[in-house]
Structure 1
Amino acid sequence: MTARIAIGSDHAGVELKDHLVAWLREAGYEPIDHGTHGSESVDYPPVMAGVARSVVAGEADRGIVIGGSGQGEQLAANKVRGVRAALCNDLYTARLARAHNDANVLAVGARVVGTGLAEEIVERWLTTPFEGGRHTRRVEQIHDIEAEETR
């Protein structure tokens, strides 16, 4: 079964998003492109929420959000209940976001990393399994906090 990857960006990340859509397809994934499709300035929160909702709804297996720094995109994605978005602009955090936090959305800063490193980050994040064990308890505690806050 081909993994479906929801992906979206703001205007600052559109070039990297377009590159990664092609790269994902070539690597055997099924990218689901939520936009943005041009370099005109856009408000990113609705795009990132669309990516996040796609993951939570099961339309995508994981999501990737891209902006200039990735900060705002991560924040917006994390407002969707059930999302664990992690900003990863290096390989170490990409690995730990999956291994320890079971992150289901990856945020990347297009003005922070180049295309080569972005490919490596995405590959590391997509191929690193969740370790479980003591980390399962911690992820469950995050879910509990989320549930308490949304009552």
Structure 2
Amino acid sequence: MEATATSIYDIPVTALDGTAATLAPYRGQVLLIVNVASKCGFTGQYKGLEELYRTHKDRGLVVLGFPCNQFMGQEPGDAEEIKQFCSLKYDVTFPMFAKLNVNGAEAHPLYKYLKSAARGFLGTQGIKWNFTKFLVDRSGHVVGRYSALTEPSKLTGDIERLLAAPA
């Protein structure tokens, strides 16, 4: 499935444990999709992402983490190492998925879809670094793209507006 998927919920993904999945279980929720890495200067954002998730999950926010090793090899671990790191270092409870590529010919269809729906600075599509964030409304529309420089706490207003909006 390419970036022409009819819905973000149709795109196949793989859970961190290797299980095949889609984003269909998150239909009707606000999604914050982030490419993450454990050895990045922005890795501390895991704390803020977890805080957003815990604060807003009962109202319908789900943070989805997608490890990526495309930026200076900053996510070298396998699935078990990623799981251990996230759990022990940041007490991550939001859903994590299998490592994937966000750029290039091998970019995952989810990221092709996200980049097509929300372009970056000056209309670029490429992901510039780890911890780029995409905000998706309850209807599955990509409504925001935020750079790695954007701290998770800065998304609170946008997230609260989406959570308050009718589905």
More helix by share: 1
TM over 0.5: no
- In the superposition, the TM-score normalised over structure 1's length comes to 0.33
- In the superposition, the TM-score normalised over structure 2's length comes to 0.31
